[in-house]
Amino acid sequence: MAAADSSPSIVEYFGGEDGYRCGYCKSDTGNLSHGMWAHSMTVQDYQDLIDRGWRRCGKYVYKPIMNQTCCPQYTIRCQALHFQASKSHKKVLKKMLKFISKGDVSKAASEEEPMDSHVEDAVACDFPYKAESHVSQSELTPLSVDHTERVENEDEDTGETKEEVNEQKVESGSRQICADKDTPLTGGPAHLAKIGHAPPKPGKGADLSKPPCRKAKDIRKERKLQKLLRNQPCMIEGSQFQAGDPGSVLQNSKSKPNQPKTIEDFVFVSLPDDAPHKLEVRVVRSSPPSSQFKATFQESYQVYKRYQMVIHKDPPDKPTINQFTRFLCDSPLEAEDGPNGPECGYGSFHQQYWLDGKIIAVGVIDILPYCVSSVYLYYDPDYSFLSLGVYSALREIAFTRQLHEKAPDLCFYYMGFYIHSCPKMRYKFWRLQSTCSLVAERTHFCSAEFCLVSRC
């Protein structure tokens, strides 16, 4: 697998027969994996390995035995070129931008945990979304005055999305029904009339003279279709769809929306000269260590030590310099450069986040022929309010896109292992795609943006 002009990979295989303690579920012998010590390895060989479920920790490379291990671990792959930031992602980007440009630190932002706080969001994503049904032309009926006024009132901008307003109405309606059930009906029909409920007449059904109850969303869709049919007849005649297909009308009306903002629009925006803060991201080679890496080694280690003690509750004597070096600095990957490769070359790097002249976070990454692989992230706990776990992932996606411009084959972003049974790891999936559905028993997941790679 090694390239013709590079030295071969040298590994020492350990086997995978004996189980050992699992760091996720704390089982004493439940974790089973193949392992090998990589004395040296080409970037192409490691690319082939991680595509088959392997992963490195320092110079140790391992692959879980999926049908035997207690906590199956799947490699998350993101197609960086197709990724679109969600609303929650943009909130994190805006929060960082406001902090840098204006020094704004909202109370809500300071209370938010950067990574583990969104476990519930990942769990909620297990449920698939229901597809919206289209209204046929034959089902269109004139809107009554009451329905029109109600929809117009709902369409007013109240600072909330329409979906949030509808959810609040459903919740309030449910609470009202529950309250009505729990309240004894001592007042009889007069009591019902007072609270807005009239008893149905015996032998009668629904009042057919009144329009049936309909969802506000369907009414809004119908009103929009009627407006298109009334005000834009030329567009409809020239479009490639039948007049009786309202779904095509609605889809055509949204064919040229305003382009959504990308990560780069938030990250690379020009700041005012009087901005209170300055953020700079530096990429330094960690193996073999560059001069910039050596000069910042102690400062970077102090951030790591504090992160482990505060976030992961490690005792002070556990995150030593030797442990830090073995875990996040040593790498078997050989530094390589190619004519069609990125300017920084391939291999292992530290992506340092400098705020006002000091390191506040470090992303450990591997740059491989087809991807940027995220190894680890640690940050200063004093800046947890900036959601640096989410922010760094978005910055690494933007970095992957930058490298793609020079190296066309490099277009993926790997986030490491995903363990659905471990709540602390579920934030990984949320960090990139809060609307993806995921089934715990699924052994392979693939979409336009994400893929859980599960090869033998």
CA neighbor of 388 nearest in space, from 438, 426, 351 = 351
362: helix, coil or strand? strand
Q: What is the DSSP string of 321-349?
A: HHHHIIIII---BPPB--TTS-TT-BEEE
Q: Is the pLDDT of residue 414 over 50?
A: yes
51: helix, coil or strand? coil
Q: Is 449 exposed, middle or buried (0-12, 13-18, 19+ CB in 10 A)?
A: middle
Instruction: Count CB-CB contacts under 10 A for residue 421.
Output: 13
C-beta separation of 366 from 348 below 8 A: yes
359: helix, coil or strand? strand
Most confident of 142-156, 180-194, 340-354, 436-450: 340-354
What pLDDT does residue 196 have?
54
Q: Is the pLDDT of residue 47 over 70?
A: yes
C-beta separation of 169 from 177 below 8 A: no
CA distances in angstroms from 298 to 292, 317, 358, 359, listed in the order given: 12, 16, 12, 11
Peptide bond into 72 cis (omega under 30): no
What pLDDT does residue 367 have?
98
* CA separation for the pair 180, 173 (Å, rounded): 10
* CA separation for the pair 217, 226 (Å, rounded): 14
Q: Is the pLDDT of residue 315 over 60?
A: yes
Mean pLDDT of all residues in 25-36: 87
Q: What is the DSSP code (8-state) at residue 174?
A: H
For the chain, the average pLDDT equals: 74
Q: Is the pLDDT of residue 272 over 80?
A: yes
What pLDDT does residue 1 have?
43
Mean pLDDT of all residues in 170-185: 46
For the record, the structure tokens of 304 come out as 């790591």
What pLDDT does residue 426 have?
61
CA distances in angstroms from 37 to 16, 175, 320, 391, listed in the order given: 13, 60, 22, 32
| H-run or E-run covering 376 | strand 371-379
Most confident of 135-149, 150-164, 170-184, 224-238: 224-238
What pLDDT does residue 264 have?
93
For the record, the structure tokens of 59 come out as 């110079």
- Looking at the DSSP bridge assignments, the partners of residue 284 are 350
Mean pLDDT of all residues in 166-191: 47
182-195 burial code (b ≥16 CB/10 A, e <16): eeeeeeeeeeeeee
Return the higher-pLDDT residue of 194 and 9. 9
Return the higher-pLDDT residue of 120 and 235. 235
Q: What is the DSSP code (8-state) at residue 289?
A: B
Q: What is the assigned CATH class of domain 74-127+264-453?
A: alpha beta
* CA separation for the pair 336, 7 (Å, rounded): 11
CA distances in angstroms from 354 to 137, 229, 300, 379, listed in the order given: 58, 55, 11, 11
Return the higher-pLDDT residue of 419 and 138. 419
**Lowest mean per-residue pLDDT among 285-289, 304-308, 429-433:** 429-433
Q: What is the DSSP code (8-state) at residue 41?
A: B
What pLDDT does residue 58 have?
95
Q: Is the pLDDT of residue 379 over 60?
A: yes
CA 127 to chain centre: 16
For the chain, the structural domain boundaries read 10-64, 74-127+264-453
What pLDDT does residue 320 have?
96
Could you tell me the maximum CA-CA distance found in the chain, to the nearest angstrom? 92
**Lowest mean per-residue pLDDT among 90-104, 152-166, 439-453:** 439-453
Q: Is the pLDDT of residue 59 over 50?
A: yes
For the record, the structure tokens of 371 come out as 């991807």
* CA separation for the pair 67, 73 (Å, rounded): 11
Sign of dihedral through CA atoms 355, 283, 343, 268? negative
* CA separation for the pair 265, 120 (Å, rounded): 29
**pLDDT above 70 coverage of the chain, percent:** 62
Per-residue confidence at 209, pLDDT binned at 50, 70, 90? confident
What pLDDT does residue 304 have?
98
C-beta separation of 444 from 40 below 8 A: no
C-beta separation of 367 from 353 below 8 A: no
**pLDDT above 90 coverage of the chain, percent:** 44
Angle separating helix axes 216-231 and 145-155, nearest 10 degrees: 100
Per-residue confidence at 406, pLDDT binned at 50, 70, 90? very high
Per-residue confidence at 75, pLDDT binned at 50, 70, 90? confident
Mean pLDDT of all residues in 320-329: 96
* CA separation for the pair 33, 146 (Å, rounded): 65
C-beta separation of 280 from 354 below 8 A: yes
Q: Is the pLDDT of residue 114 over 90?
A: no
CA 113 to chain centre: 15
